[in-house]
Structure 1
Amino acid sequence: MFTARQTFTSFQRRAFSASSRQSSKVTVLGASGGIGQPLSLLLKLNPRVTELALYDIRGAPGVAADISHINTNSKDIKVTGYIPTTEGLREALSGTEVVLIPAGVPRKPGMTRDDLFNTNASIVRDLAKAAADSAPDANILVISNPVNSTVPIVAEIFKSRGVYNPKRLFGVTSLDVVRASRFISEVKGTNPANENVTVVGGHSGVTIVPLISQSNHPNISGETLDKLVNRIQFGGDEVVKAKDGAGSATLSMAMAGARFAESLLKASQGQKGVIEPTFVESPLYKEKGIDFFASRVELGPKGVEKIYPIGKINDYEQKLVDACLIDLRKNIEKGP
């Protein structure tokens, strides 16, 4: 039987074994929220992170003090919580390499991601303005929903400041891949860690397109396939319902956000062949008026290195893509 300490240490070794490699400053905007706190904890465990800057409208210094007590292998990491002032936000962003934005209100029962737009759009807009002014060269990772609309908002803010770099702006869609891997493993009775389902499109409802034909189990079909795809597309609703109005997918989203940040840091520090799904400015469907699209993206020191096409898909998946593009275009246009 493992003790809590043994289990924790084992997790550190498995998840982040690169303690001797170059590290970076990472900033979390919305660090006190349901996603922000576990996300900050996971980043504290990452030896690639030398400095962790936490900002929120309340509570960030407390979160920083709390996680700074953890005896991780990242012995040199500096954790600072900043007060909610213009100066505090500027200091949190100054010199940072990666900015994660989970700030915003959570989804409640009966709400769609689009219902969140009016509130979260203004929050993301204001934080994007600060990032454009204080960290124009940073990698911006947008978690705040609806991602299909908030990412275009950030793009327009950076354009208005004359500092937009499409290779540095990412919508975090890793949770869709995490869910797809978990759910398909439940159907097939396999180890979810060994599953890898490509998910393209966007990050809400029918815009989430799992390419099961490219997975380890391409022969799933019929009602089983319909139920699997629906669960992947609307898995967030399960969590919202289960939490009975007390929140949405915060822990799994934090894990997915930390995973993407880790991949980005690995790539920026020279590791080759780092590929993650992410919602970025993409040429794949620009001729149809879709400026942003999630697909497999190779990451590098300058952000986006290569955007992969979705590859060969079957007729069933083509119908999913067609439905995705209709909604995705509306979501993107709604943003700016």
Structure 2
Amino acid sequence: MAVLVTGGAGYIGSHTAVVLHEAGRDVVVLDDLSNSSPAAVDALRALTRPDLPFVEADAADVDAVGRAIADHGVDEVVHFAAFKSVSGSIADPDGYHRNNVGSTVGVVEAMRHNGVSRMVFSSSCTVYGEPTDLPVTEDSPISASNPYGATKVACEELLAAEAEAGGLDVLLLRYFNPVGAHASGDLGEDPRGTPDNLVPYLMQVAVGRRESLSVFGDDYDTPDGSAIRDYIHVVDLAEGHLAALDELAADRGSRGCTAVNLGTGTGYSVLDVLAAAGRVIGRPVPHQVVGRRDGDIQRIW
């Protein structure tokens, strides 16, 4: 089977591409490199095959996505391509909606034109907003608290409508906070600019690329006052996408649209993570507490 991985040069997409290749899938990567680099593609090819097909294109470009599907005999899609920063979405909500929803519309249209119906969609636990009950389940209320989460809700609604109309079989993977890197050390999370996520920020401080880390708030209603998140290793997350594709293939067009949470079920605070990192590197991680960050929730797992 050939699978198109949009956003496949990004953090989660690249790890998933490797896992899919190792499972025997013919992988085609499409990415516009807006938040990744050609070096990520080189690393992917080193870990998979030297001639791994790579298409540099915007996932919103229906023609480009359609050509990638047709040229490589694609029969299933994993759609990652999206902006993913909560703070970035607050600064540019219109841009986030245009990009995230627009890319999903483009991919769906290209799939429809080429008779491809199976999709695994990269959603997020941010669709739940600030949960009232923990742990969250797939039946927890949808209440996104920032524009990024709202784009994921909009995409989920679009995909559900397409599935209801009979055009798609979709698994929506609502995952929590991916962390970690490939065992080779050749793939990991190294975003352009200041990292929005805790672990890459922490690692840049640990190796001396930044002097210290900002902890956004210590006055949350949590045991140590810092925000709590559910952290899942990126390779476990990638294997979840493989399992989702296998599930869709086994259902043979009978699934429709289903949401699945993908996490560990356990939450850790920001200060917990800093303490663990300090134990690993043998010294405290330099940090300072600053005010809460707009759009952040206090705890979810």
* TM-score (norm: length of structure 2): 0.46
Higher relative contact order (CA 8 A, sep 6+): 2
